[in-house]
Amino acid sequence: MFFVISGYLITGLILKDFDAGRFRIVDFFERRIRRIFPALALVTVATATAGYFILLPYEFKLLGQELFAQSVSASNFYFFRSSGYFDRAAELRPFLHTWSLAVEEQFYLVFSLAALVCAGRARLLRGIVLVAVVSFVTCLSLGRSYPMFNFFLLPSRAWELLLGAWLAAGVPDSSGRPRWMVEGLGWSGLLMIGVAIAALDARTPFPGTATLLPCVGAALVIWAGAGKGNTVGRLLSFRPVTLIGAISYSLYLWHWPAIVYSKVLTFGQVQPSQTAGLLIGVFLVSYVSWKYVETPLRRRGPVAVQKTVFISLATGTAVFGVFGLAINKLDGVPTRLPDQANRILAEGRDDYGLNQRYCYQLKLEDLLAGKLIELGGAGDRTPIEVLLWGDSHAAAVIPVMDSLCAEHGVRGVAAVHASTAPLIGEVKQGRFAFPESALANASLVEFVRKNRVRNVVLVAKWLGHLENNSTEKLHDRLSETVEKLDRAGAVVWILKQVPKPRWNVPTLLASAMLHGWDFSQMGGRLEDYRVEMERQEALFRNPDPRFRVARILDPSAVFTDPNTGRYRIIRNGSALYCDESHLSVAGAMGLHDLFELLFLPSGGSRSPDRSPSP
């Protein structure tokens, strides 16, 4: 809708100058600078200043990169290149919304030159239609294969601006048209916009065919509202609507940083009352910005000389660009934080990196050859006492299992892969699951039998796997896995899922230290944890007789803090998680006593008649 309206308004101004014989590229861009730059500069200064006091170093470092990209109207290229699965969540990027301004400016640079070359309404109109069709076809062609390119870059978005341009250049307005036609098309446009708002969500491929709903809807509303004497036109002339339209640019600039910082400060738990206050505050600031910054400098008043306008733009671009590069070069100025906060963040990054490295070491050919992650350092010629098997949550406990194996002088091995459940059968979760998981899991049972492994420890994000499978299905798979490992001669241990915080724990703790918050009450409430774990408990109250030989390890007591009624996320100054669910090395080492049961004489031994079954 923003692009369609922009294309309509700006093309109308260009054609008006053409018809009057006074169109000049320099004049056009002077008006664009007056329209865009003053309010944008104010919001940029405010956003960067607030980021200094609110954001953690790695967040502020990224803000510096965004600031540089925004200063040269290349935000869309920056977010196109930096967006991805492991990228910081979009709702935490203060300058994310400037990607559309970059697309718009890139479009008008090309469009104004094209208008000058065409030197006539008819030729320009033919060019608009041709390029719009090519752009729309490009959009449809790249939607599934290159979604980030499709979303952020001009070739796939130009048709939206050109739809508005076509409306201004080639479509007579609704004046003089039959009343039924104007009313019908105008209200149809409003209905299309309403359906788009209600029906389109994160699962909708966008842009694509679904983009026609808001874009065509906006075009119909513009066309109908341009005439007089119809209800759509009167609705658009209603004072509150025109006021929102007047301040819409300032509103657009201010709303996103306000949303981002409110989420940062509340860790995404913005309350309804806070949302209401935020909306009121954003409207007030936007009105002031429109009245005292945007409007005066938009007219030829305080900045009357054209040369001064371009010098101001160049100066602002250079200053913002230099500050952005400096913030990035200084790594987000970590000296703003207490030393302990920086240490917690560094440990979190290191521990997360360690987890990810373990998660993707497993290869099917290595597994079939018996080459797994070695634990304990006893050497590959020593009998294997322990096999740790699971997904990324299993990778997170490798440090404590490695330490225990070394402490007891036994050999352990680990077979872990992200998003892959340690269960017989095809039970995968997410795009990073092991593609050959069914064959790999079956091969691990044979590995246990062949190597006469005494203990097998199953560790997983059980609640995550339950999201994609019924409890009954996982019951059956888990019982089958336990039975086959038991018949292969192993004692089977299963670690229940550790408590799952709702936030990135190192970030939470470091932010608490930055802002002087009391983080003793930041661990999740035990009542919430019990409710969350109830479905997991159903999995381990498995009545299947095949399951009864399994030995269940419950980590909840390790994390419970009875003094606060919450579960712990920090102990002895170290975060117990490296993100929002995986244990840090310190968190894993907290399970030392629980896992030591495996190494006691009565823990991992089997009776003489419990040798592997043929």
Q: pLDDT band at residue 88, thresholds of 50, 70 and 90?
A: low
465: which 2 tokens? Answer: 């796997």
Judge if the upstream peptide bond of residue 207 is cis by omega within 30 degrees of 0: yes
Q: pLDDT band at residue 433, thresholds of 50, 70 and 90?
A: low
For residues 557 and 613, the model is more confident at: 557
Question: What's the confidence (pLDDT) of residue 611?
Answer: 39
Residue 156 has pLDDT above 80, yes or no: yes
For residues 84 and 27, the model is more confident at: 27
Q: How far apart are the first and last CA of the chain?
A: 68
Of all residues in the chain, what percent carry a pLDDT higher than 90?
64
Of all residues in the chain, what percent carry a pLDDT higher than 70?
94
Question: What's the confidence (pLDDT) of residue 177?
Answer: 87
Phi, psi of 17 (to 5 degrees): -70, -40
Q: For the chain, which residues make up each domain, given as ranges?
A: 2-175+238-336, 343-599
Average pLDDT in the 279-290 region? 97
Tell me the per-residue pLDDT of 464-481, one tens digit each, with 9 for 90 and over.
888 878 888 888 999 999
Per DSSP, which regions of 276-381 are E strands?
A: 373-375
Question: What's the confidence (pLDDT) of residue 21?
Answer: 84
**H or E stretch at 582:** none
Question: What's the confidence (pLDDT) of residue 612?
Answer: 42
Q: pLDDT band at residue 85, thresholds of 50, 70 and 90?
A: very low
The pTM of the full predicted model, rounded to 2 decimals, is 0.84
Average pLDDT over the chain reads 89
179: which 2 tokens? Answer: 């009343």
Pairing of strands 574-575, 570-571: antiparallel
For residues 466 and 519, the model is more confident at: 466
Question: What's the confidence (pLDDT) of residue 92?
Answer: 85
Question: What's the confidence (pLDDT) of residue 553?
Answer: 95
Question: What's the confidence (pLDDT) of residue 333?
Answer: 97
Question: What's the confidence (pLDDT) of residue 86?
Answer: 39
**H or E stretch at 561:** strand 560-561
Residue 83 has pLDDT above 80, yes or no: no
Q: pLDDT band at residue 48, thresholds of 50, 70 and 90?
A: very high
Contacts of 372 (CB under 8 A, 6+ apart): 362, 366, 387, 413, 414, 415, 447
Q: pLDDT band at residue 428, thresholds of 50, 70 and 90?
A: low
Task: From 112, 99, 78, 113, select the one nearest 7 (Cα to Cα).
Answer: 112
Question: What's the confidence (pLDDT) of residue 605?
Answer: 52
Question: What's the confidence (pLDDT) of residue 608?
Answer: 36
Could you give the maximum distance between any two Cα atoms of the chain, in Å?
101
Pairing of strands 373-375, 566-567: unpaired
For residues 220 and 20, the model is more confident at: 220
Q: pLDDT band at residue 327, thresholds of 50, 70 and 90?
A: very high
Q: Are 584 and 348 in contact (CB under 8 A)?
A: yes
| CA dist., res. 228 & res. 460, Å (int) | 65
258: which 2 tokens? Answer: 């306000």
Q: Are 121 and 18 in contact (CB under 8 A)?
A: yes
Tell me the per-residue pLDDT of 440-469, one tens digit each, with 9 for 90 and over.
888 899 999 999 999 999 999 998 888 878
Q: pLDDT band at residue 279, thresholds of 50, 70 and 90?
A: very high
Region of poorest pLDDT, from 110-114, 236-240, 321-325 = 236-240
Average pLDDT in the 502-513 region? 91
Region of poorest pLDDT, from 272-281, 429-438, 535-544 = 429-438
Fold of 343-599: Rossmann fold (3.40.50)
Q: What angle do CA 257, 259, 260 make, to 5 degrees?
A: 65
The SS3 of residue 289 is helix
Question: What's the confidence (pLDDT) of residue 234?
Answer: 87
Pairing of strands 411-416, 373-375: antiparallel
Pairing of strands 411-416, 384-390: parallel
For residues 530 and 273, the model is more confident at: 273
Average pLDDT in the 568-593 region? 94
| CA dist., res. 214 & res. 196, Å (int) | 6
Q: pLDDT band at residue 610, thresholds of 50, 70 and 90?
A: very low
| CA dist., res. 234 & res. 236, Å (int) | 5
Question: What's the confidence (pLDDT) of residue 575?
Answer: 95
The SS3 of residue 127 is helix
Q: What is the DSSP string of 453-522?
A: -SEEEEE--HHHHHHHS-HHHHHHHHHHHHHHHHHTTPEEEEEPPPP--SS-HHHHHHHHHHHT--GGG-
| CA dist., res. 150 & res. 136, Å (int) | 10
Phi, psi of 415 (to 5 degrees): -125, 100
Residue 24 has pLDDT above 60, yes or no: yes
Sheet holding 384-390, edge to edge: 373-375, 411-416, 384-390, 455-459, 491-495, 551-553
Average pLDDT in the 500-523 region? 86
Average pLDDT in the 274-300 region? 93
Average pLDDT in the 520-536 region? 77
Q: What angle do CA 203, 207, 213 make, to 5 degrees?
A: 90
Q: pLDDT band at residue 526, thresholds of 50, 70 and 90?
A: confident
Region of poorest pLDDT, from 170-184, 339-353, 360-374, 418-432 = 418-432
Tell me the per-residue pLDDT of 171-198, one tens digit each, with 9 for 90 and over.
888 878 888 999 999 999 999 999 999 9
Q: pLDDT band at residue 281, thresholds of 50, 70 and 90?
A: very high
Residue 247 has pLDDT above 80, yes or no: yes
Task: From 298, 295, 194, select the one nearest 246 (Cα to Cα).
Answer: 295
Region of poorest pLDDT, from 68-77, 352-361, 536-545 = 536-545
